[in-house]
Amino acid sequence: MVTDVTVAQPQIAASVRSSVETVDKGMRVSGVSKRLGTITLAMFRALPCIWIFCFFALAQRPAPAWQEEVRKCAEAQDWITATNIVDREIDRAPQDMDIRAWRARVLLWSGKLAEAEREYHEILDAVPNDPDNWMALANVYSRENRTQDALQALDRAVELDPKRADLHAALGRALRTANHPKEAKLEFRRALELDPASKEAELGLLSLRSGPRNEMRVGLNTDLFSFAGPNDLEGVSFTSHWTQRWTTNLSENFYQRAGTDAETFVASVTAKLPTLGALTVGGAAAHDNSVIPKDEAFFNYDQGWRLADRTLVRGVEIIYGQHWYWYTTARILTVNEMTLFYLPHDWTWSLGLTGARSQFAGTGVEWRPSGLTRLGFPLSAWDERRLQGNVFFAAGTENFAQVDQIGQFSSQTYGGGLRFQLTERHDVTGFAAYQKRTQDRTDTSFGFTYGFRF
């Protein structure tokens, strides 16, 4: 028995060691499993954060290099290179509508409006529910002066994403252009509700505030002749904007000519026609004393066009008019045309031509031409104050206000002026000119006006 016990002890010990090792291994395996489970659970819990991090990382990636090249070409107005870059990318990915949208932008920026419109229509046929492309198409329509089409495109964009402040602000701008101030104000307010920090919506509301409707101007003008005594002129005018379409003007002018006094009363009305420009019709009656016209009648038609913002000429305005003067001894008809070019940085350049048909008692009819060119430019600006200047040159210009200065001479006139806007409601303008006439005569003139709006 002893022998059996002695022999069995090593076996029991081995069995115990084996069991302990097995348990120890199991415990280690169980610990590892628990750690793996904990790590896996933590990863699943962190998965949303990982996705958010990846989203922002992708969002903050720099734009592709070709887009930066296109922007640089656009700034330099190198449209050929910009188009070639975009076409190259389209060849690589012909179904990528984002690249097609870049081509449409380049066409719009370069002033190829018909091609840009066609491109946006093709994009919207493929991706009809992208509000950005509808807004871009509205920009094309606006440049083409198709206001109603622009409104419809923006309505569609807002319908697709009614919670975007920029779309409401764009719709507000289009409504303001279409002379729908109430609807425009509502859209700007909606934009501010969605984005209280929207400067565009804030400025849009400010632009719709009722400004001054009336303006009164007073002024004087003096002519110093080398061959006669001075002429003086004082005047006052009152302009009222009754609605956005109707404006009236009344003025009274007082003349002093070599001891002779005269005065004239002028009245006119202006109608702004939607998309058709503005038409002004008026007339004058005078206590003439045989030195100024007894009666006058006139009309002017004014039409303007906005051009591409990136071109040298941003806009063009043409004014055509006819003016009849009836003196006691003469009949004058003038045909006037003025073209005004709007240039970058608030510069303007105007060219005017006048044909004057003169007929004196006992003489035949005679036509005389004259011309004028003027360059306007900003000088300084601070707060509400603005200082602007202009220089001009005229040739063959006569003074049809006085009977002894028509059909009698030719001349060259050099001059310039300043306009100082003190506030939104107050401004002062002044001018000076030197005229060299035939027969070695000269005329130096100067004057100023003060305007008050309320």
Domain ranges for the chain, please list them. Answer: 1-61, 82-207, 214-453
Residue 40 pLDDT: 44
Count of CB atoms situated within 10 Å of the CB of 89: 19
Residue 14 pLDDT: 41
| Residue 422 phi, psi (nearest 5) | -75, -50
Residue 407 pLDDT: 67
Beta-strand pair 411-421/385-395: antiparallel
Three-state secondary structure call for residue 2: helix
Domain 82-207 in CATH 1.25.40.10? The answer is yes
* Closest by CA position to 164, among listed 137, 138, 187: 187
| 8 A C-beta contact, residue 287 and residue 263 | yes
Residue 404 pLDDT: 66
- What distance in Å separates the CA atoms of residue 436 and residue 420, rounded to the nearest whole number? 28
Three-state secondary structure call for residue 278: strand
Q: Which two tokens stand for residue 119?
A: 């491109």
- What distance in Å separates the CA atoms of residue 270 and residue 298, rounded to the nearest whole number? 12
- What distance in Å separates the CA atoms of residue 22 and residue 17, rounded to the nearest whole number? 8
Query: Quick one: 214-453 is in which CATH superfamily?
Result: Outer membrane protein transport protein (OMPP1/FadL/TodX) (2.40.160.60)
> Model pTM greater than 0.75?
no
The end-to-end CA distance of the chain, in Å, is 130
- What distance in Å separates the CA atoms of residue 451 and residue 270, rounded to the nearest whole number? 20
| 8 A C-beta contact, residue 204 and residue 169 | yes
- pLDDT means per 10 residues, the chain with 454 residues, are 37 38 40 44 44 39 72 86 89 86 89 91 92 94 90 94 94 90 92 92 85 93 93 97 93 92 97 90 95 96 85 92 93 95 94 91 81 96 90 85 71 96 94 93 96 95
Count of CB atoms situated within 10 Å of the CB of 157: 25
| Chain position carrying tokens 């395996």 | 29
